[in-house]
DNA sequence: ATAATTTTTTGATATAGGTCAAAAGCTGTG
DNA sequence: CACAGCTTTTGACCTATATCAAAAAATTAT
């Protein structure tokens, strides 16, 4: 019998809470291993997001459409959860699509299963609260950085927060994430 | 004996969880009523933020300094908690100051008391997770809006999200919140 | 009230970065 | 390999918004 490679995931949980064997089992039973090909759609904005993916390997992109153009919202990577946050939370459709920038290995957890875990393992509530706090902090920092006036400053901040993965993301996607044109970003990269 | 006016606060909690009498009592015992005069400093960036304020009446401003200028981060108002998020969470200093835009009535809850509540009332964990989700949603929407190209679009989005209180916030503070100059904002308001 | 201070508006000018267009560089497929 | 379809770069030009400066309006203090 093949054991699921849940090490990374458990390690992630243990950054926030102590994992009991019972919770480990309950999690393992509910996680479904899933892979996505490069470019494959992970979540469609026209549907309610009922699944959250914990990325083991690879890189995704959360984006939305504005005037027909794809605007990157953020890039979930190894060791992070990926979903359409509000849709997953409120069970309503939202504007975000998710696709795979690279081939992805992930564990899938459905809302219903997650709810079961919240009901039966109070420490899951704590995990969610604490891990959400971390993400919240990143978002705040990002808002702060988006007000840095020049495009160069925005790009520099992007590089520093995404230093491990920025070279794996196409230029055009980074430009829309920063709210600048790809021409401008290309010029910023050229000088220096 | 004077009863604390905890109605608004309890109502806020009950948007997310059912409040037991025991939790109500535990909360009431730990909340300290506090007022701030207009312009008074609520939190100093040079200190660790150990208190969270639930605003009953009035308006605050969370801001930081960039090149000696005050940049508004957001404006906590009636029915919301106000603190320096990362400092409160990590017990380290952070860049944010908080002051009162108007005279404020608030309930103060210290970190230690909050920790006690998390330890003894699992439903508090759930409350925190869920209410944080709401705030998280607002932040995401804001990041999306910050990429709207024109200053006018940013301002329109601000008006729609802060429609109840935008007229109570001085123009200069709104401008720095949006990342535009106050001259530009003044001109936007003038036309139309 | 009157003065003092702060906030907002108005004007003139400069520039970062947008738009449009086209060339160059990559990547994958039969 | 060669072609098709992307992605990135380069160039020319233009516009929204920043800057700087000063007047006007509003708020606060004496």
> What single string gives the DSSP state of each residue in B95-111?
S-EEEESS-EEEEEEEH
Closest CA to B108 of B27, B38, B48: B27
Which nucleotide C1' is nearest A67 CA?
A: C19
Q: How many domains does chain A have?
A: 2
* CA pair distance B1, B44, nearest whole angstrom: 34
Question: Locate tokens 């939202």: which residue?
Answer: A94
**A157 vs B: CB within 8 A:** no
Q: Evaluate if residue A108 carries a pLDDT over 70.
A: yes
Q: What is the mean pLDDT of chain A?
A: 93
Which nucleotide C1' is nearest B189 CA?
A: C9
Q: Evaluate if residue A71 carries a pLDDT over 90.
A: yes
Please name the residue of chain B whose CA is at the shortest distance from the CA of residue A130. Answer: B129
Residue A143 lies in a domain: no
CB contact under 8 A, A140 and B85: yes
Chain A neighbors of B73, CB-CB under 8 A: 140, 143-144
Q: How many CB atoms lie within 10 A of CB B169?
A: 19
Question: What are the residues whose beta carbons fall under 8 Å from the beta carbon of B154, sequence distance 6 or more?
Answer: B145, B146, B148, B178, B179, B180
Helix or strand (DSSP H, E) at A152: helix A151-161
Residue A142 lies in a domain: no
Per-residue pLDDT of chain B (192 residues; tens, 9 = 90+): 456 688 889 999 999 999 999 999 999 999 999 999 999 999 999 999 999 999 999 999 999 998 888 999 999 999 999 999 999 999 999 999 999 999 999 999 999 999 999 999 999 999 999 999 999 999 999 999 898 889 999 999 999 999 989 999 999 999 999 999 999 999 999 986
Query: Between the CA of B99 and the C1' of C9, what is the distance in angstroms?
Result: 26
Closest CA to B87 of B51, B63, B112: B51
pLDDT, position B147:
86
Residue B92 lies in a domain: yes
Closest CA to A146 of A176, A172, A170: A176
**A147 vs B: CB within 8 A:** yes
Based on the fold, state whether residues A30 and A84 are members of the same structural domain.
yes
Residue A2 lies in a domain: no
Based on the fold, state whether residues A74 and A33 are members of the same structural domain.
yes
How many CA atoms within 13 Å lie on the side-chain side of A11? Answer: 9
Based on the fold, state whether residues A119 and A158 are members of the same structural domain.
no
Which nucleotide C1' is nearest B39 CA?
A: D28
Q: What is the CATH number of the domain that holds B22?
A: 2.60.120.10
Distance from the Cα of A51 to chain B's closest Cα (Å) equals 16
Based on the fold, state whether residues A103 and A168 are members of the same structural domain.
no
pLDDT, position A7:
86
**A129 vs B: CB within 8 A:** yes
pLDDT, position A192:
62
Q: Evaluate if residue A169 carries a pLDDT over 90.
A: yes
Query: Between the CA of A145 and the C1' of C16, what is the distance in angstroms?
Result: 18
Per-residue tokens: B146: 């910050």
Task: Look at chain A and count its residues.
Answer: 192
* CA pair distance B26, B20, nearest whole angstrom: 10
Based on the fold, state whether residues A96 and A11 are members of the same structural domain.
yes
Q: Are B129 and A132 in contact (CB under 8 A)?
A: yes
**Final residue of a domain: which of A107, A134, A161?**
A134
Based on the fold, state whether residues A164 and A73 are members of the same structural domain.
no
Confidence category of residue A49, pLDDT binned at 50, 70, 90:
very high
Based on the fold, state whether residues A96 and A153 are members of the same structural domain.
no
* CA pair distance B98, A182, nearest whole angstrom: 37
Q: Looking at residues A96-119, what average pLDDT do you find?
A: 96
Q: Write down the H helix ranges in chain B.
A: 7-13, 21-30, 85-90, 111-120, 122-146, 151-161, 171-178, 182-190
Per-residue burial over B98-129, b if 16 or more Cβ lie within 10 Å, else e, is: bbbbbebbbbebebebbeebbeebebbbbbbb
Q: How many CB atoms lie within 10 A of CB B23?
A: 19
Helix or strand (DSSP H, E) at B156: helix B151-161
pLDDT, position B67:
84
Q: Which domain holds residue A170?
A: 148-192
pLDDT, position A34:
94
Q: Are A74 and A162 in contact (CB under 8 A)?
A: no
Residue B22 lies in a domain: yes
pLDDT, position B5:
82
Which nucleotide C1' is nearest B184 CA?
A: D17
CA triple A122-A126-A131, angle to 5 deg: 145
Residue B189 lies in a domain: no
**B86 vs A: CB within 8 A:** yes
Based on the fold, state whether residues A118 and A192 are members of the same structural domain.
no
Query: Between the CA of B39 and the C1' of C8, what is the distance in angstroms?
Result: 19
Based on the fold, state whether residues A99 and A125 are members of the same structural domain.
yes
Q: Are B71 and B63 in contact (CB under 8 A)?
A: yes
Report how many Cβ contacts below 8 Å link chain A to chain B: 75
Based on the fold, state whether residues A13 and A48 are members of the same structural domain.
yes
Per-residue tokens: A31: 């996680």
* CA pair distance B125, A127, nearest whole angstrom: 9
Chain A neighbors of B143, CB-CB under 8 A: 73, 139, 142-143, 146
pLDDT, position A3:
60
Q: Is the CB atom of residue B152 positioned under 7 angstroms from any atom of strand D? A: yes
Based on the fold, state whether residues A65 and A120 are members of the same structural domain.
yes
Based on the fold, state whether residues A177 and A105 are members of the same structural domain.
no
pLDDT, position B89:
95
pLDDT, position B7:
86
Residue A140 lies in a domain: no
Helix or strand (DSSP H, E) at A123: helix A122-146
Closest CB to B122: pick one of A125, A176, A179: A125
Query: Between the CA of B140 and the C1' of C18, what is the distance in angstroms?
Result: 25
Residue B50 lies in a domain: yes
Confidence category of residue A5, pLDDT binned at 50, 70, 90:
confident
Nucleotides of D under 7 A from a protein CB: 7-12, 16-21, 28
Helix-then-strand count for chain A, H and E: 8, 8
Question: What are the residues whose beta carbons fall under 8 Å from the beta carbon of A138, sequence distance 6 or more?
Answer: A161
Question: What are the residues whose beta carbons fall under 8 Å from the beta carbon of A171, sequence distance 6 or more?
Answer: A182, A185, A186, A189
Beta bridge partners of B70: B65
Q: Are A121 and A26 in contact (CB under 8 A)?
A: yes
pLDDT, position B154:
94
DSSP, collapsed to helix, strand or coil, labels residue B48 as coil
* CA pair distance A11, B64, nearest whole angstrom: 35
Which conformational region is residue B9 in: left (phi greater than 0), alpha (psi within -120 to 50 degrees), or beta? alpha
């Amino acid at each position: 019998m093949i054991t699921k490679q849940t090490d990374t995931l458990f390690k992630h949980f243990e950054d926030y809470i102590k994992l009991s064997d019972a919770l480990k089992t309950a999690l393992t039973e509910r996680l479904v291993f899933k892979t996505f090909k490069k470019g494959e759609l992970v979540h469609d904005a026209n549907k309610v997001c009922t699944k959250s993916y914990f990325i083991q390997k690879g890189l995704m992109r959360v984006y939305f459409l504005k005037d027909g153009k794809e605007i990157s919202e953020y890039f979930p990577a190894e060791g992070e959860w990926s979903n359409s946050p509000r849709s997953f939370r409120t069970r309503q459709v939202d504007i975000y699509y998710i696709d795979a920038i690279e081939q992805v290995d992930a564990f899938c957890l459905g809302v219903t299963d997650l709810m079961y875990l919240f009901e039966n393992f109070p420490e899951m509530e704590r995990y969610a609260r604490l891990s959400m706090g971390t993400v919240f902090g990143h978002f705040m920092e990002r808002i702060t950085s988006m007000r840095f006036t020049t495009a160069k400053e925005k790009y520099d901040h992007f590089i520093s927060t995404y230093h491990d993965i920025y070279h794996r993301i196409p230029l055009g996607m980074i430009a829309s994430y920063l709210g600048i044109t790809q021409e401008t970003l290309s010029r910023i990269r050229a000088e220096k």
